[in-house]
Amino acid sequence: MDSPQTRKTGLNLPSGMSETSLRLDTLRGITSLSSSSPSKSSTCSDRFIPCRSSSRLHTFGLIEKASPVKEGGGNEAYSRLLKSELFGSDFGSFSPAGGNQVASSPMSPSKNMLRFKTDHSGPSSPYSPSILGHDSGLSSESSTPPKPPRKVPKTPHKVLDAPSLQDDFYLNLVDWSSQNVLAVGLGTCVYLWSASNSKVTKLCDLGPNDGVCSVQWTREGSYISIGTNYGQVQVWDGTQCKKVRTMSGHQTRTGVLAWNSRILASGSRDRNILQHDLRVSNDFISKLVGHKSEVCGLKWSNDDRELASGGNDNQLLVWNQHSQQPALKLTEHTAAVKAIAWSPHQSGLLASGGGTADRCIRFWNTTNGHQLNNIDTGSQVCNLAWSKNVNEIVSTHGYSQNQIMVWKYPSMAKVATLTGHSMRVLYLAMSPDGQTIVTGAGDETLRFWNVFPSMKAPTPVKDIGLWSLGRTQIR
């Protein structure tokens, strides 16, 4: 038979527990919610309403900073009243309309409702930001101290006088061999300067009616090719100072030469590119026709598979071994393209520079012909050379600043800007160790600069060169 308690409430209560100990004051809970002022009774309710004043809402960025009240404070008064009605009177009182005082409570709802903030009030943890924070260098990359920029000496460590060094943008009269010998074309003569002992040797004299237009060492550094004003290409033994061969084929001056492992390419004012092979008796083995004006830039890729050529027709052409037609025609430059350089760090990456009307260095992916980047240097780009020690590139310039610039790739951040030549820096060559460059200009000087670190130890280069400071004459 049911007990009176069970009949009355419908609940099976343990012995010793009365109905009054488990009474749910539902009506009072509802009344307290709808009342104009919250009830202060401690009677249990059927709803859980958290007390926001005891919550750590500052952890979630809910503290609102005081801000000056705008003119016509009606909106501000309404906002405070609305907050009080929505969040309760324990969130702070408000001042009368038009007052300059904001909510007195330190906590009021913010627009950034769930923006998490670190709570520093709790006990210290071994993994807390105070221990592994910004001062430890472990929380983020930004806490790592920035690497100081590499210092490049601003002055050349050696200067050579080079009388009769021509001020002609389309010629290529300076080259540095892998055996550390510098070749320079001065007027009708070619001189060799040994960087190891500063010895100067006169290699040849083409005679009063001819002139040197280009010089280029083989990769082994034993033989040197010379392009002449008459369009010939001569090959000399640099050690014995003897002419090995003379090859014809061009109708006028040969202003640029480029060796790969076995083929010599020559470019001329006659707009043609000839390929010569010393192992055959013919003067040339192929003719590449594509430029509409003088060819002034030629460079083989490091794997010998592609040949890049630049001309006075503002074109940059890329040739391969499978066709006598250019594989790529790149026409974005708006001036003559003499400066060409292949990256030794990435296959198919080609850099080119334009003349006075263009002033840009452009980077190309020769696999698909896409332009990767371009930067306006502000002056005529005469030469480009990629460092083999670090991923940087050096450019020399003419009108109007005659500067030498070192860039970091691919960001193209300037590493250094070097000045000293009083005329266009038309000639550029790099030492075999990749640390020193030599520049030449129409001011008839050759200047040696330490710009790149060594390959083994990338430490800042020193201002003291391999040779004594001072100015000497190359002939």
Q: What is the pLDDT of residue 455?
A: 85
Judge whether residue 15 has pLDDT over 90: no
pTM above 0.85, yes or no: no
pLDDT range class, residue 10, cuts 50, 70, 90: low
The arithmetic mean of pLDDT across residues 146-168, rounded, is 91
pLDDT range class, residue 269, cuts 50, 70, 90: very high
Least trusted range by pLDDT, from 35-44, 161-170, 174-183: 35-44
Round to whole Å and give the CA distance between 310 and 294: 9
Q: What is the DSSP letter of 373?
A: E
For the chain, the average pLDDT equals 81
CA–CA–CA angle 180, 184, 190 (5° rounding)? 110
- Residue 288's nearest CA partner among 304, 303, 301, 306 is 306
- Residue 297's nearest CA partner among 259, 341, 349, 333 is 341
Q: Are 313 and 293 within 8 A, CB to CB?
A: yes
The arithmetic mean of pLDDT across residues 26-55, rounded, is 49
Q: What is the pLDDT of residue 469?
A: 44
Q: Which of 11-15, 53-57, 130-134, 323-327 has the highest mean pLDDT?
A: 323-327
For residue 437, what are its two tokens? 């460059």
Q: What is the DSSP letter of 11?
A: -
For residue 229, what are its two tokens? 């004003």
Q: What is the pLDDT of residue 97?
A: 42
- Residue 355, amino acid: G
Q: What is the pLDDT of residue 220?
A: 95
- The DSSP secondary structure of 389-419, one letter per residue, reads SSSEEEEEE-TTT--EEEEETTTTEEEEEE-
Judge whether residue 126 has pLDDT over 90: no
pLDDT digits (tens, 9 = 90+) for 63-85: 555 555 444 556 778 888 887 77
Place of tokens 């003379």: 246
Round to whole Å and give the CA distance between 336 and 313: 6
Q: What are phi and psi of 404, to 5 degrees?
A: -120, 130
Q: What is the pLDDT of residue 82?
A: 81
For residue 280, what are its two tokens? 């055959």
Round to whole Å and give the CA distance between 322 and 55: 77
Residues in the chain: 475
Q: What is the DSSP letter of 154?
A: S
Least trusted range by pLDDT, from 37-51, 90-104, 461-475: 90-104
pLDDT digits (tens, 9 = 90+) for 290-310: 999 999 999 999 999 999 999
Is the dihedral angle over the CA atoms 249, 253, 256, 257 positive or is it negative? positive
Judge whether residue 23 has pLDDT over 70: no
The arithmetic mean of pLDDT across residues 130-144, rounded, is 44
Q: Are 402 and 441 within 8 A, CB to CB?
A: yes
Q: What is the pLDDT of residue 188?
A: 97
Q: What is the pLDDT of residue 473?
A: 72
Round to whole Å and give the CA distance between 220 and 229: 26
Q: Are 212 and 188 within 8 A, CB to CB?
A: yes
For residue 198, what are its two tokens? 């500063």
Q: Are 319 and 326 within 8 A, CB to CB?
A: yes
